[in-house]
Structure 1
Amino acid sequence: MTQGRTQSTLQTGPLVTCMKTLLMVFNFIFWVTGIVLLAVGIKTKIDWYKYLELSSVYHPETPYVLIGVGAVIVLIGSLGCCCTVKGHAFLLFMYCGFLALIFIVELSAGIALLIYRNKLEKGFKEGLNNAIEIYGEDGKDEYTNSFNDMQKTLKCCGIVSYEDWYKTPWEKKQKVPNSVPLSCCKVDDKSCKNTGLLASNSSTSDIYTRGCHKLVVDFIDGNLGPIGGVALGISFFQILGAILACFLAKSINKAKYEQVA
């Protein structure tokens, strides 16, 4: 009987060591994904918000969700490393529960991002139409600045084309007919510096002629699509971590029971 228990313990020992190694590898990858999500959330808040806030379907809390989920993953990934090293079954079961909870959150976030991506084209068309109508009005500096930043950064002008500006309330207030904002200028020439606008019918070579709508949709769509896909992939990857943590906890309990017996 003693010999049987000894053989069983010898078999369980290497299994626990192997499971700990695999779980540590998982914890490291899990921790890195948290850093990536945290960085994406910060980048979304700093760089992409000027495009996102022009959409009629923009949700200002989106960057904070990414930042929050990333920070929680980093924290729980660090906790997972401690749980694995200490080898306490209770802590490992608790870690497994945290992974299951994050799995649900990330799965929901990934699906939401993919659905949100499909609404972008319509949302941006509506949002840009609304923003160009109130461009330059008092108290609407947020939209005016966002539109200017978009045109400068993406090197575009108007929604579908630069001629969209000809029909706007802003253009009707200008002294020069068929004018576009300074942000449409390719170069900061003397005319732009003095007037803050450029008569596009005099020289279209001095302004951007491509519309911003397709460029914005392609830019955001090209980023949100991969992010949503990665979020879904990471969420299912966490199932592996939860299984490893659960098996390790059971193996540790089994090894303790065999030692006592």
Structure 2
Amino acid sequence: MRSLQTVAALTCMKTLLMIFNTLFWASGIFLLILGVWLHVELHKFIELSPDFSATAPYVLVGTGILILFLGTLACCCTVKEQPILLYIYAAFLSIVFVVEVSACVSGYAYRNQLSDAFEKGLNTSMGSYNVEYSRTSAINSLQAHVHCCGINGAGDWYNVPYGKIPGSCCKTNMGCDTTNPVLIYNTGCHVLVTGLLRSNFGVVGMAAIGLSVFQLFGIALTIMLAKLLLKTKYESMS
């Protein structure tokens, strides 16, 4: 028979782990939705950079599906009190934790290279404007959606073969004169996008650290519950 103290500890830990599993499962849904959204939206900008990897959305979708599977498995293991499966769940959580930390470190280490690759892609796309349909469509979508023009400014368009500012730089689709600086976006796409990323880098970093600490808490809680279940099992057998 389990003592009242043991029952109380098990109930508390199972409740905390179920809360963790629910939040972890919700993060899987978020990654899945984010991956699908990136797959739908990001294809417009893939042609902008030859160094861009189109696999990122699929990685997010795969990670989201894995988290959904693990979260569902963890809930079943918690309810059925299966220590071995809980240890396996903790191992999978550790793997996900290592992958996330590696991704964050890689993103930080290569942030300047990504900026340079984006600038190179913009320059190539502008040079092929009105020649290659895919690049033309990509640069038009970027300028219209992000509200930017050129690499560092609208004047960059005079330095490429196209030789004039395209209509996608216009603030309005009706009666736009691209020679009038008042009617067009004057901030460069590279300046705007990289500036936005840098200004939010701290927020993203803190969110990543918070998620990592949250997962470490889940790993520790899972192992503690598994150990307690094994302990109570051996005590009941003795």
TM-score after normalising by structure 1: 0.80
Change over 3 Å in CA distance of 1:246–1:199 after alignment to 2: closer
Please say if 1:170 is aligned against 2:180: no
Q: Which amino acid aligns with 2:166?
A: P
Q: CA deviation at 1:13?
A: 2.1
Equivalent residues of 2:178, 2:184 under 8 A apart: no
The DSSP-based 3-state class of the residue aligned with 1:205 is coil
Aligned to 1:159: 151
Report the AA paired with residue 69 of structure 1: T
Contact in 1 for aligned 2:169/2:178 (Cα 8 Å): no
2:5, 2:183 → 1: CA distance?
Answer: 77
C-alpha separation between the residues in 2 aligned to 1:46 and 1:113?
Answer: 22
Q: Match for 2:153: what amino acid?
A: S
Distance in structure 1 (CA, Å) of the matches to 2:198 and 2:35: 16
Residue 143 in 1 paired to residue 167 in 2?
Answer: no
Q: Deviations over 1:24-72 (max 9, x none)?
A: 1111121122222223323333334544652454221112212211221
- Partner SS for 2:182: helix
Q: Percent same amino acid at aligned positions?
A: 42
Amino acid at match of 2:174: D
* Aligned-residue offset at 1:222: 5.2
Q: What amino acid sits opposite 1:18 in the alignment?
A: C
Between the two proteins, the alignment pairs up a number of residues equal to 238
Q: CA RMSD in A?
A: 2.4
When residues 220 and 58 of structure 1 are mapped into structure 2, their CA distance, relative to the original with a 3 A threshold, is: farther
Unaligned runs of 5+ in 2: none
Partner of 1:110: 104
- Which AA in structure 1 matches 2:148? C
Q: Distance in 1 between matches of 2:209 and 2:5?
A: 36
Q: Partners of 2:58 and 2:96 in 1: how far apart?
A: 16
1: CA distance between counterparts of 2:209 and 2:102? 8
- Residue 123 of structure 1 is aligned with which of 98, 108, 117? 117
**3-state SS in 1 of match to 2:94:** helix
Distance 1:199 1:22 in 2: 59
Contact 1:148 1:183 (C-alpha < 8 Å) held by counterparts: yes
CA distance in 2, matches of 1:43, 1:219: 20
In structure 2, relative to structure 1, the CA distance for the partners of 1:73 and 1:224 (3 Å cut) is: farther
The answer for the alignment partner of 2:38 in structure 1 is 44
Q: Deviations over 1:175-210 (max 9, x none)?
A: xxxx321212233235x6xxxxx562xx33332222
Alignment of 1:177-256 (within 5 A): 179-190=164-175, 200=179, 203-221=180-198, 226-227=203-204, 229-256=206-233
Alignment correspondent of 2:3: 9
Q: Note the alpha carbon deviations across 1:133-166, whole angstroms, 9 max, x for none.
A: 11111xx222111100111112222212222111
Contact 2:46–2:138 (Cα < 8 Å) also in 1: no
How far apart in 2 are the matches of 1:42 and 1:158?
Answer: 28
Could you say which structure has the larger radius of gyration? 1
What's the offset of the Cα at 1:241? Answer: 1.3
Deviates more, 1:70-79 or 1:112-121: 112-121
- For structure 1, the residue ranges without an aligned partner over 5 or more in a row are 1-5, 172-178, 193-197
Task: Specify the code of the residue in structure 2 equivalent to 1:144.
Answer: T
Instruction: Give the ranges of 4+ consecutive aligned residues of structure 1 lying more than 6 Å apart after TM superposition.
Output: none
